[in-house]
Amino acid sequence: MRVMLKLILDCDPDAAWRALRSPAVFREVSSPLVEIESLTVDGFPTVWTEGVHPVEMRGAGIVPIGQQLINLSFRTAEHGSTRIVHDSGVGVRGAVSTLKMWDHKMAVAPDPAGTGRTLYRDKLEVHAGLLTPAAWYGLWAFWQWRGHRLQHLAPTWAFDPPVGETDADGDAGTNPDGAAGAGTAGGAGVALDGRAGTDAESNGTAGADGDAGAGADRDAGAGAGAGAGREVSS
């Protein structure tokens, strides 16, 4: 089963990449439908690191959904123009433990139209045996919400100060190209498990390319529509 997204985000690719690597943004785009808490002693880091991150999830902050191990890795593709977050985690307790396979990729690249904005592609593949169709409906709805939140928040990401790059007076530094950095609580994105859409057309817009791992390994010029598609397989 797949849930996919293909969106244009109103920020530059560097800001979008910082957002994808921020636990704060991860939680913000999921809320209030799903509230996520870290199970580590020190809580969430400021910026995601590669490796395993245990979390607990509750629907609307009340209904237990379960515990999951987020297992992150980062890579680049397409001659460095596409940057990818890959979560190959697994549910360990509660409802999420019924998902026997979880493979989630999120990719950011420059908008092929040359607008300076970001082409965002997202692909989640899950398998839950006989429960796959039921799991798909819930995840599809949740991804729709995440996609909406990503587009709503993206314009704010460019104004987040880069981590460790503030001057003595505490003013935010900037990147060499002049774009403001991120990595603070408002700054950098998600590993989550979330955004909207599937393989077939939805909302009248084109879906993401299927087998490219969040579309990341396909040509970044593969279209910049803001939409979602869907495909179900059990």
Whole-number pLDDT of residue 163:
54
Residue ranges in the chain modelled with pLDDT below 50: 165-234
Whole-number pLDDT of residue 228:
39
Whole-number pLDDT of residue 233:
37
What is d(CA 145, CA 194) in angstroms, rounded to the nearest whole number?
8
State which amino acid sits at residue 200.
A
Mean pLDDT of the chain: 76
pLDDT tens, 169-191? 444 443 434 333 333 333 333 43
Residues counted in the chain: 234
Q: Kindly report the pTM of this predicted structure.
A: 0.68
pLDDT tens, 52-73? 999 999 998 889 999 999 999 9
Rg of the chain (C-alpha set): 17
Whole-number pLDDT of residue 129:
87
Separation in Å, CA 133 to CA 128, 140, 197: 8, 11, 15
Whole-number pLDDT of residue 23:
96
Instruction: Annotate 62-119 with three-state secondary structure.
Output: CEEEEEEEEEEEEEEECCCCEEEEEECCEEEEEHHHHCCEEEEEEEEEECCCCCCCEE
Q: Which residues contact 26 (CB under 8 A, 6 or more apart)?
A: 36, 48, 189, 190, 191, 192
Neighbouring CB atoms inside 10 A of 115's CB total 13
**Listed residue (22, 27, 10) closest to 158, CA to CA:** 10
Whole-number pLDDT of residue 61:
83
State which amino acid sits at residue 152.
H
Whole-number pLDDT of residue 119:
97
The answer to whether the beta carbons of residues 4 and 210 sit under 8 Å apart is yes
Separation in Å, CA 228 to CA 40, 103, 122: 34, 18, 9
Q: Which CATH number fits domain 2-231: 3.30.530.20, 2.60.40.420, 1.10.940.10, 3.30.360.10?
A: 3.30.530.20
Whole-number pLDDT of residue 141:
93
